[in-house]
Chains A and B, each alone.
Chain A
Amino acid sequence: MENNMLSVKNLHATVEGKEILRGINLEVKAGEVHAIMGPNGSGKSTLASVLAGNEKFTVTEGSVEFLGHDLLSMSIEDRARLGLFLGFQYPVEIPGVTMANFMKLAVNEQRKYRGEEPLSAAEFLRLMKEKSAVVELSSKLTARAVNEGFSGGEKKKNEIFQMAMLDPKLAILDETDSGLDIDALRIVATGVTKLHTAENATVVITHYQRLLDYIVPDVVHVLYKGRIIYTGDKTLALKLEREGYDWLINEYDR
């Protein structure tokens, strides 16, 4: 148990009084890739938001331990600084704030949290250049305002670029494949794979098997009505692709 990176126990969460998560249990170890699948409205994105600390949701029961910390008692930014990265399904546009300025602050806040010296301008620029290559992000985009006027594909690439910059321990990628054409999907997925090491872990939330062709999961979970109703290996994703969710759901609902 001690090499557990993330340990979610009986997690319940509500939004506007409605219970969305109804007892989630999940263990993620360093070096693992997990995929969370499930039909629309099953609570996948909510799980990601709750782990990241979105205050729209209220945790009513359960606990989450992340790298030995009580995650639920931490602020959004401290969770991020500790090494939890959420790749947004809909990355937010921040008018007038340049990518460079934004990332410089984010990287240095993380360093400060770890007790490290801030990067010099030159070091930072070098890092930007190096990491933007991971997802083939044009340097033109890094000079622009955060996500402003980016295409859908560019926004998702930008998420992975930021993941590369911040080098998280645990990356939760919420529907990172949605709205991507096949080339962008390949670039994004390859980027994620490149960033994967034995020391970090990735949780991929997705609808489709196609992303899992690139990012091969160790464990596949099916989320339904706020609970993980089935857990299997990578073959489960293929079976779901072929047969849909009905066989699982029918069994569960019965």
Chain B
Amino acid sequence: MERVLEIIGALRKAGPELFRVETPVPQAYAAVDPDHLRVELAAGAAAQLVVLHMKAEVTRLDVELADGAQFDLTEIFLGETFAEIALKQEARSCCRVTTVSLTSANASYRIDLNGRGATNELNGVFLATGKDHCVVRLHTAHNVPDCTSASCVKGVADDEAVGEFSGLVYVAPDAQQTDARQQSRNVLLGERARIETMPQLEIYADDVKCSHGATVGQMDSDAILYMRQRGLSEAQARALQIEGFVGDIVRRCGVESLGEALMQLATEKLER
């Protein structure tokens, strides 16, 4: 935990109310428990932002990306925050979102691709243990042609925890050449845990590539056996496997070394 705070504390502060970027040279910023933060990236601007949620409160983030802007957003939920995030993207803007929930947070993303050639990539992880109830909602609207979106949300529910994902890909009439992919991958670890996933497609244009997939399952027991044959204990094998499952996304977290620190935090949570 300290390591995460330390890394984030060392970054430039964004906000508290408006975070506006004009420069095309990306720099890393951070915001901790913003109340309502507006983010504006001017045409061609680039920035990296880490938002840390520690408090059980309602928070709102509005992001507007002008033509060709590039934005890398990492959101970390360590508190039971109720967060609404609205992203509006103009032509050729590019947004990469990474969201990691390590507690009962409720995160709703609304992504509007309003300009041709806009791309959005969202990767998320939630780890629900104990009596956690993690919720990730995602609404990706392809309002104009030629946009690309890809999302992958991985969930783990242990003990008596509940994990909920709902994702909608909306393709407006005439939003031809849309390329939209959505994946929801979940693992149930606890005997009394529960996963509910709703990946949805609503499509009104025909020349599109849209797909979604969802899985709820358990970790591969053959892999556990394999690792034990090489001398790992069952607990070690399981931990390694879960780390392998969510690690690619957690490690993606924008700023260098933050990913590792978070992974450490995630592993500790699972071992508790």
**Which of A's residues lie within 8 Å of B, judged by CB?**
52-55, 75-77, 79-81, 85-86, 88, 91-97, 101-103, 105-106, 109-110, 113, 145, 162, 166
Which residues of chain B from 213 to 234 have any CB-CB distance to chain A below 8 Å in the complex? 220, 222-223, 225-234
Chain A residues closer than 8 Å to B248, beta-carbon distance:
96
Considering the chains assembled together, what is the distance between the CA atoms of A50 and B233 in angstroms? 18
**Which of B's residues lie within 8 Å of A, judged by CB?**
220, 222-223, 225-234, 236, 240-241, 243-248
Chain B residues closer than 8 Å to A162, beta-carbon distance:
230
Interchain CB contact under 8 A, B228 and A75: yes
Interchain CB contact under 8 A, A113 and B230: no
Chain B residues closer than 8 Å to A53, beta-carbon distance:
228-229
Interchain CB contact under 8 A, B243 and A166: no
Closest chain-B Cβ to A77's Cβ sits at a distance in Å of: 4
Tell me whether A109 and B226 are in contact in the complex, defined as CB-CB below 8 angstroms, given that A97-B244, A101-B240 are known contacts.
Answer: no
Top-8 shortest CB links A-B: A96-B244, A97-B244, A80-B231, A92-B226, A76-B228, A106-B230, A77-B228, A109-B231
Interchain CB contact under 8 A, B232 and A106: yes
Interchain CB contact under 8 A, B229 and A80: yes
Closest chain-A Cβ to B266's Cβ sits at a distance in Å of: 13
Query: B-side binding surface: helix, strand, loop or mixed?
Result: helix
Name the residue in A76, A95, A113, A145 with the highest tally of chain B Cβ atoms < 10 Å from its Cβ: A76
Chain A residues closer than 8 Å to B222, beta-carbon distance:
92
Contact partner, A91, options B226, B232, B233, Cβ 8 Å? B226
Chain A residues closer than 8 Å to B236, beta-carbon distance:
105, 109
Contact partner, A97, options B228, B229, B231, B240, Cβ 8 Å? B240
Interchain CB contact under 8 A, B232 and A109: yes
Chain B residues closer than 8 Å to A110, beta-carbon distance:
231
Interchain CB contact under 8 A, B240 and A95: no
Considering the chains assembled together, what is the distance between the CA atoms of A134 and B244 in angstroms? 27
26 A-B pairs within 8 Å (CB atoms) are namely A53-B228, A76-B225, A76-B229, A77-B231, A77-B232, A77-B233, A85-B229, A88-B229, A92-B223, A93-B223, A94-B220, A94-B226, A94-B240, A95-B244, A96-B245, A97-B240, A97-B241, A97-B243, A101-B240, A105-B240, A106-B227, A106-B230, A106-B231, A110-B231, A113-B231, A166-B231
Considering the chains assembled together, what is the distance between the CA atoms of A145 and B231 in angstroms? 18
Considering the chains assembled together, what is the distance between the CA atoms of A96 and B234 in angstroms? 17
Chain A residues closer than 8 Å to B231, beta-carbon distance:
77, 80-81, 106, 109-110, 113, 166
Interchain CB contact under 8 A, A86 and B232: no
Considering the chains assembled together, what is the distance between the CA atoms of A109 and B236 in angstroms? 10
Chain A residues closer than 8 Å to B226, beta-carbon distance:
88, 91-92, 94
List 20 additional A-B contacts (Cβ < 8 Å) besides A92-B225, A95-B244.
Answer: A52-B229, A53-B228, A53-B229, A76-B225, A77-B233, A80-B230, A80-B231, A81-B231, A92-B223, A94-B220, A94-B227, A94-B241, A96-B243, A96-B244, A96-B247, A97-B240, A105-B232, A106-B230, A109-B231, A109-B236
Name the residue in B223, B227, B231, B234 with the highest tally of chain A Cβ atoms < 10 Å from its Cβ: B231
- CB closest residue in chain B, given A108: B231
Contact partner, A92, options B220, B232, B234, B247, Cβ 8 Å? B220
Considering the chains assembled together, what is the distance between the CA atoms of A80 and B229 in angstroms? 5
Considering the chains assembled together, what is the distance between the CA atoms of A76 and B228 in angstroms? 6
Considering the chains assembled together, what is the distance between the CA atoms of A86 and B240 in angstroms? 20
Considering the chains assembled together, what is the distance between the CA atoms of A124 and B161 in angstroms? 38
Considering the chains assembled together, what is the distance between the CA atoms of A95 and B231 in angstroms? 19
- CB closest residue in chain B, given A52: B229
Chain A residues closer than 8 Å to B227, beta-carbon distance:
94, 102, 106
Name the residue in B220, B226, B240 with the highest tally of chain A Cβ atoms < 10 Å from its Cβ: B226
Considering the chains assembled together, what is the distance between the CA atoms of A160 and B63 in angstroms? 52
Chain B residues closer than 8 Å to A145, beta-carbon distance:
244
Chain B residues closer than 8 Å to A103, beta-carbon distance:
230
- CB closest residue in chain A, given B222: A92
Chain A residues closer than 8 Å to B228, beta-carbon distance:
53, 75-77, 80
